Chains A and B, each alone.
Chain A
Amino acid sequence: MAAGTPGEGKEPGSSLSAPASPADLAGADRGEVDARGELDGLDSLDDLMGGPDPRNPPVAAVPAQGLAPAYGPARARGRGYAAPELPAADPLRDRTVRSLGGHLARGAGELMITCGVIVVLFLCYQLWITDIFAARTQDQIRHDLTTAWAQHAVPKPARGGGADPRKRPSVPPVELGDGIAVLRVPRFGTDYAPVVVEGVSTADLRRGPGHFPGSAMPGEIGNFVVSGHRTTYGKPFSRVDELKVGDPIVVEVADRYFTYRVTRSEIVDPHRLDVTYPVPGHLGEAPTKARMTLTTCHPRFSAKSRLIVFAELDETRDKSDGPPPELTGG
């Protein structure tokens, strides 16, 4: 306090307030803490008292720093010494902090943008690019199938010529993924002619509508089951929901056209394997009719249900008699 007295003496207004507040607190609160507080206060005062006059500027500078951003730069500029210190010290610190945080933020941003771009790319892939792949594959399969038909069409009728044409096999034994028949649905337009492939694995279905292995072949007594994509990979069954009862579905094989007619459609759970039975829905029952069943996903872009369309064979026509009137618009 001895050191403090000269300061008080010189500048009563400002110096009184500074030491007085710890002293008041000390007196009001606790003895032990007060002693330390007073000692600390004394030390700091001693340091400050080294130059009684310079003590004022720092005291004034502290509020100046605090106030400078709030009350405008005029005050800081007026002081002169405070203004250069602030921009010199802070931006350096800020730059190091910003560079670390900035790198993190930038990296996270780039990562998120990349994820978004990949998702968009995947959607484009699903909606358009798989169609391009499937169109090219279908062209190849169609070419292979017509070549095979051209080669085997002649010996085949000759071999089965004497037998009942309904018992003659419509499709020779094929490998999984090979084309077996061409599907035509007048309601879907004259350009609609996807090649049905053997098999319903993911790879087979990417090539075209797939014939459920083990189910009846086109025209045979039993159930000719075909599954196809409703979206992606050429979406051959995208419009299957538009089929109405009585609509013709023409299945073309090497030597014949089979015209099926839609009997009904149903939306079922994905595990309803019974729609593929020879007599749909009746396990173990011997079939007496040639049926056809189309399966695809429902609703579009979803795997929640399956859309099933049932059809029955209406007419079998030899290719030598020309295409059925349903295809020629007759």
Chain B
Amino acid sequence: MYSWIFRHLPGPRQVRIPLAVLLALAVVAILLFLVFPLVESYLPATSVTVGD
């Protein structure tokens, strides 16, 4: 999977490595800012109030 992505990145190796790092950072940012805050509300560990 990762080798496939790396092979399909454009440019020579000097371009692909920073591109791959950027891609990984983008995925982490999407997880932190979009996915995790959404997922978190469905997990019970953060509920602190009383009531139904």
A-to-B contact residues, CB < 8 Å? 107, 110-111, 114, 118, 121-122, 125-126, 129, 200, 202, 205-206, 210, 212, 227-233, 237, 268, 270-273, 275-276, 295-297, 301-303, 306, 308
**B45 proximity list for chain A (CB < 8 A):** 126, 231-232, 297, 301-303
From 1 to 19 in chain B, residues with beta carbon under 8 angstroms from any chain A beta carbon are 1-2
Q: State the main secondary structure of chain A at its contact with B.
A: mixed
- B47 touching A125, Cβ below 8 Å: no
Identify A272's interface contact among B32, B46, B50, CB under 8 A. B50
Within 8 Å CB of A232, what residues of B? 40, 45-46
- Residue in contact with B1 in the complex, picked from A110, A233, A295, A301, CB distance below 8 Å: A110
A111 to B4, CA, bound (A): 13
A271 contacts B47, CB within 8 Å? no
* Residues A270 and B50 in contact, CB atoms below 8 Å apart: yes
Report A263 CB to chain B, min CB distance, Å.
18
How many A-B contacts are there with CB distance less than 8 Å? 74
A273, chain B: closest CB distance, angstroms: 5
Closest CB in chain B relative to A122 CB, distance in Å? 6
Contact of B41 with A273 in the complex, beta carbons under 8 Å = no
B51 close to A273 (CB less than 8 A): yes
Q: A273 and B36: CB pair below 8 A?
A: no
CB atoms of A229 and B46 under 8 A apart? yes
CB pair B52 A118 closer than 8 Å: no
Q: Is the CB of B31 within 8 A of A270?
A: no
A118 to B40: give the CA distance in the assembly, Å.
Answer: 14
Given the contacts A110-B2, A303-B44, A227 and B49 also touching, CB distance less than 8 Å? yes
Report the minimum CB–CB distance from A75 to chain B (whole Å): 41
Chain B residues within an 8 Å CB radius of A308: 50
Q: A107-B1, A118-B31, A125-B36 are in contact. Are A268 and B50 (CB under 8 A)?
A: yes
Q: Are B47 and A303 in contact (CB under 8 A)?
A: yes
Name which of B28, B39, B46, B50 has the most chain A CB atoms within 10 A of its CB.
B50
**8 pairs, CB–CB < 8 Å, chain A vs chain B:** A118-B31, A125-B36, A126-B36, A210-B49, A227-B49, A237-B48, A273-B50, A276-B51
The answer for the CA separation of A174 and B10 in the assembled complex, in Å, is 53
**Contact flag A122-B41 (CB < 8 Å), given A227-B49, A271-B51:** no
Which residue on A lies nearest to B31, using beta carbons? A121
Give the residues in chain B near A121, CB-CB below 8 Å: 28, 31-32
Residues of B contacting A129 with CB < 8 Å?
32
Residue contact B48 to A273, C-beta cutoff 8 Å = no
Task: List chain B residues, Cβ under 8 A from A301.
Answer: 45
Residues of chain B within 8 A (CB-CB) of A210 are 49
- Residue of B whose beta carbon sits closest to that of A107: B1
Q: Which residues of B contact A272 (CB under 8 A)?
A: 50
Q: How far is the CA of A276 from the CA of B36 in the complex (A)?
A: 30
Kindly list chain B residues whose C-beta atoms are within 8 Å of the C-beta of A122: 31, 36, 39
Chain A residues whose CB sits within 8 angstroms of the CB of B28 once the complex forms? 121
Give complex CA distance A295, B51 in Å: 11
Closest Cβ–Cβ distance, residue A100 to chain B (whole Å): 15
Chain B residues closer than 8 Å to A302, beta-carbon distance: 45
Contact status A227-B48, CB under 8 Å: yes
